[in-house]
Amino acid sequence: MADITSRDDEKSRELAKETGRIEEQERQRERSQAKETGRKQGQEEERAREKQKAGPGGKWLMTLIWLIVLACIVVVAAFLTLSVSVTSTTPGDALPFTTMYGVSFPEGQTIAIGDSQINVLSYQNELISDIDGDRQKLVLGENRMITERRAVIKTLGIITLMDTNFRISLIYKGDRDNRAYFDMAVQTSKQVPDILLKNLLPAEIDARPM
């Protein structure tokens, strides 16, 4: 009789343990579900706060930023696609606008200004200047003219930024370190911004506004 009672007590304890284990698993599952629900609710609240912060003002700010970025891209593209076309023209148009530069030409090297080919070489106190095959000797203070031309500067292949007639006058100022120095006057039929006008002048002559 005692053995039967002992077995019943043991079964009761095992059943109680199993019931407790099942209840603990259920509580653990409920805690996990509650934690997941809280996490999702927190994410939704955070998104709602971000939308509220953005509002109409935030949208305008993002639009402004994108417009600035687009403008920068257009400016860079326009600069990279600048093209200069220089052609001969019949002299006679008024050239009322003058821009002065100090320039220096490397001696013995052919330099192109527009469609003109220029080569200079010093000899004693004189300078031999060759412009498009026409040679002349220059002394200090003497002038040499590049005849009138028409220049058209375009960007993006189709947009004309400059269309003007121009003439260049060079006054010889002497030579130093195998470079011949000149005061250069660029006369144009229209007012042209310096940033565009310098596109006519090659980097080799180191043109600096006076």
pLDDT tens per residue across all 210 residues of the chain: 555 556 666 666 666 666 667 667 777 777 777 677 767 777 777 776 666 655 555 677 778 888 888 877 766 766 666 677 777 787 777 899 999 999 999 999 999 888 889 999 987 778 899 998 999 999 999 999 988 888 887 877 777 778 889 999 999 999 888 999 999 999 999 888 888 888 788 889 999 998
| Extents of the domains making up the chain | 83-209
Contacts of 107 (CB under 8 A, 6+ apart): 120, 121, 122, 175, 178, 179, 180
Place of tokens 């996490």: 39
pTM of the model: 0.61
CA 168 to each of CA 3, 26, 42, 97, 146: distance values in angstroms, whole numbers, following the listed order: 126, 95, 73, 12, 5
